[in-house]
Amino acid sequence: MTIKNKKNNRRSRGSLLFILFSIILLILFCFAFFISPSLQAEITSNEEIYFTILHTNDEHSALIPHSPAVDFDIGAQTQDKDPTVGGFARLASAVQQIRDTKAQQKEPVLLFNAGDFMGGAAYSWLTLEGYSPELKLMQKIGYDAAVIGNHEYDYGPEVLASYLINAGYPEAHEQTALLAANTNFPHDSIFRLRDLYRKTHLIEIENGIKIGLMGLIGDEAVNLTMLENEIKFYDQIETAEKITSELEEKGADIIIALTHFGFQEDKELARRAPEIDVIVGGHCHKVLHEPVVIEGTIIVQAGSKLRYLGFLELAYNNNSGKLRIRNRENKNPFLIKLDSAYKPDERISEYIDEYTAILNNLIFNLTNGEYNHIFDTVVRSSFEITNQPYAGENPAGNFITDAMRIITEKISEQKVDVALQVRGNIRKNFQPGRKGDITFYEITEVVGLGRGLDKVPGFPVVTVYFTGEEIKKIIEVGKLLEQIYSDSLFFHLSGLKYEYNPSDVILFNIPFLDQPIPTMRAVKNLKIYSGDFLQTSKNKSEQNKIYKPLINEKLYNFAADSYTLSFIPLIADLIPAFDIVPKNKHGEVLDLSEIPGQTVEYQHRELKVWETVIKYAQLQPAGEDGLPHIDEYYKDISGRIIKTDSWSYLQKLTAGMVVSVGVIILWSRQKN
């Protein structure tokens, strides 16, 4: 064969190969174009990486099942159907079940917390004894990250720092990263020196996908902290935008924000920082049975106190960078109720039993042996003493403020005219168990927050004196604080009654300054109770006898807790012209620094709000069983705070001006 023939043969074979290759490409193109939808989905799924986010928020030291907790104990003894929910041991079981299932599918599972794991139930008192029960349990259950919420600061920054050190930080960041991206601790603070918090955290999952985490606290939560300016907070939106860029520079494929904001601020974050893929929220205790998606950002939240475990199944497309939710296709709920369907994890239960024994010993010491177990019965009731409506007079608010007024008067041997408590410090209803028992634990779940100068758990009762005119201002400004900051600042009262129109609180806001101008005319018919015990009367003629107008110049003894009185500087800042000046019983002006010293002494320490409630419960009428039973009076409200819907002050002014102008026009026409 000649060289020429060889070349021709090669050309022929090349042409055949080219034709064959073209046919194969055409077949592949047709296959891809006409492929069945199910097979297309399979190919798409091969480009996706599956992972699951489990999440909780606002545990509030509720280590054990509740609603009420005493029924969990009874259920364990009688084998009755257990009506309680929550508890870290049930949480551990639910988390492990999901992890086991997902492990078989080779799917990563992440577990996050959105703040306020402390503060609420009496287990938080163990913080003051050098223990860190909440975070220790979270580490054992396997949380990947948590954010610092406002209640983590309940005992002050120094105590929080000790709590974190006792929980194993900074080394524990490798197990459960503790995040606070927009919190500015001083440079010389122990938080910075000991690396007790992180701004960001990176987690690498399957196929090298990196998840970038940040933790943020919001405006409303910051306004409710007791920090006295020793810690500053950056703007959460600006911080989120900055941190997002930093995380992307570090190679993060997915951005997740753990926020202690509240739902409204979460939505604002999603609108203004759409680069965030998922917001795991907390603070407002909202139960989101389905995620809310804004600008492509997925927002989730799981209520409070471990009633639910949040469950979010996701798919990440490595090519497009898109996330999609998979719960519906898997027919799985977004919230898993932690009820008796989940047997408590034995290992976690043992740890909780150890903490309970320590708490029982503390209770024995605090009550001088009167109570020695969290489930000791204090009082019985045939009904719940509800804390609803949230921002309005309710039976729980009346019971607590009556306790503060009556018991403080009894212990101090000084007439107490008015008692006040903010709504945010009333954590829940007083719930009797199936046998009607309201236990020590139940009462402290409702009013167990804070500590005093004596470092004993519970906010102390403080008594100061105000004039009648100042009390009127306090009630007016309380309505202003409630509208500007949070309805958690709604004032419950004993010893007073009044009417108010919400539309009258603010006349208008000064543009650009965002400065509200109050009318100071929202409250009407403010009167003081002149009786001795229950703030009640059977008919209107009696009410006219027992309710008297406040005398402007007269000094009245005013009882509140230290937290509530800490808002006095806020009042001065908001309305400088309406100074409210606390005084002692002699009318001598007290410096703000002296107010904490005006606590009521009891057993060589401060009288606590929770103690007034327990002692008032003990004074309730005795039942046939010889135990005190809650008075029927607290089944309902008693008309202390009446909300009206009349015309607002501004509407009246406007109407008055219109009428005046109309009269002038008519008069001028008649004259002409």
Which pLDDT tens digit goes with each residue over 553-565? Answer: 999 999 999 998 8
Peptide bond into 389 cis (omega under 30): yes
Query: What value does the mean pLDDT take over residues 99-127?
Result: 97
Going from the C-alpha of 588 to that of each of 51, 79, 282, 419, 582, the distances in angstroms are 65, 61, 44, 21, 9
Query: What value does the mean pLDDT take over residues 272-280?
Result: 97
| Six token digits for residue 10 | 């090669």
Domain with CATH 3.60.21.10 in the chain: 45-348
Fold for the domain defined by 45-348: Purple Acid Phosphatase; chain A, domain 2 (3.60.21)
What is the DSSP pairing of strand 506-510 with strand 109-113? unpaired
Q: What 8-state DSSP symbol labels residue 81?
A: P
Ramachandran class of 130: left when φ > 0, alpha when ψ lies in -120 to 50, beta otherwise: left
Going from the C-alpha of 486 to that of each of 154, 403, 470, 482, the distances in angstroms are 18, 25, 22, 5
d(CA 399, CA 535): 10
Q: What 8-state DSSP symbol labels residue 425?
A: G
d(CA 72, CA 485): 37
Tell me which residue of 89, 45, 47, 48 sits closest to 65, measured CA to CA. Answer: 89
d(CA 448, CA 379): 17
Q: Where are the alpha helices (DSSP H) in 379-461?
A: 395-412, 440-447
Q: What 8-state DSSP symbol labels residue 304?
A: S
Higher pLDDT, 543 or 249: 249
Q: pLDDT tens digits for 319-340?
A: 999 999 999 999 999 999 999 9
d(CA 365, CA 602): 14
| Six token digits for residue 194 | 């000991």
pLDDT-wise least confident of 143-157, 378-392, 528-542: 528-542
| Six token digits for residue 282 | 């907390």
Give the percent of the chain with pLDDT over 90.
74
Tell me which residue of 391, 390, 442, 571 sits closest to 73, measured CA to CA. Answer: 442
Fold for the domain defined by 376-644: 5'-nucleotidase;  domain 2 (3.90.780)
- pLDDT for 45 equals 46
Full strand arrangement of the beta sheet holding 418-422: 461-467, 555-561, 418-422, 491-494
Q: What angle do CA 608, 613, 617 make, to 5 degrees?
A: 145
| Cβ–Cβ < 8 Å for 173, 143 | no
| Cβ–Cβ < 8 Å for 152, 184 | no
| Six token digits for residue 483 | 């509208």
Query: What value does the mean pLDDT take over residues 51-74?
Result: 94
Q: What is the DSSP string of 560-578?
A: EEHHHHTTHHHHHHH-TTS
H or E element in which residue 214 lies: strand 210-217
Strongest mean pLDDT among 399-403, 452-456, 473-477, 578-582: 399-403
Residue 41 reports pLDDT greater than 70 = no
Q: What is the DSSP string of 179-207?
A: E-TTEE--TTSHHHHTT--BSEEEEE-GG
Residue 575 reports pLDDT greater than 80 = no
d(CA 115, CA 134): 11
Q: What is the DSSP string of 61-79?
A: T--S-BSSTHHHHHHHHH-
Residue 489 reports pLDDT greater than 80 = yes
Under the banding of pLDDT at 50, 70 and 90, the label for residue 543 is: low
In the block, tokens 């054992």 appear at 140
d(CA 281, CA 270): 11
| C-alpha 507 chain-centroid distance | 30
- pLDDT for 290 equals 97
Going from the C-alpha of 524 to that of each of 469, 501, 543, the distances in angstroms are 13, 8, 16
Single-letter code of the amino acid located at 46: N
Residue 528 reports pLDDT greater than 90 = yes
- pLDDT for 80 equals 62
3-class secondary-structure state, position 114: coil
- pLDDT for 577 equals 66
- pLDDT for 141 equals 98
Tell me which residue of 141, 23, 135, 67 sits closest to 427, measured CA to CA. Answer: 67
Q: pLDDT tens digits for 590-627?
A: 987 788 789 999 999 999 999 999 999 999 999 999 99
Query: What value does the mean pLDDT take over residues 371-381?
Result: 97
Q: What 8-state DSSP symbol labels residue 217?
A: E
**Helix-, strand-, coil-residue percentages of the chain, each rounded to 5:** 40, 20, 35
| C-alpha 349 chain-centroid distance | 25
Residue 102 reports pLDDT greater than 90 = yes
Question: What is the torsional sign of CA 543, 547, 548, 552?
Answer: negative
Under the banding of pLDDT at 50, 70 and 90, the label for residue 119 is: very high
Higher pLDDT, 537 or 81: 81
Under the banding of pLDDT at 50, 70 and 90, the label for residue 659 is: low
| Cβ–Cβ < 8 Å for 524, 518 | no
Domain with CATH 3.90.780.10 in the chain: 376-644
- pLDDT for 8 equals 42
Q: pLDDT tens digits for 246-261?
A: 999 999 999 999 999 9
d(CA 464, CA 555): 10
Residue 171's contacts (CB-CB under 8 Å, 6 or more residues apart) are none
Query: What value does the mean pLDDT take over residues 16-25?
Result: 48
pLDDT-wise least confident of 64-78, 590-604, 647-661: 647-661
To 10 degrees, the CA torsion angle through 352, 358, 362, 368? 110
| Cβ–Cβ < 8 Å for 54, 109 | yes
Residue length of the chain? 672
Is 552 exposed, middle or buried (CB count within 10 Å of its CB: 0-12, 13-18, 19+)?
exposed
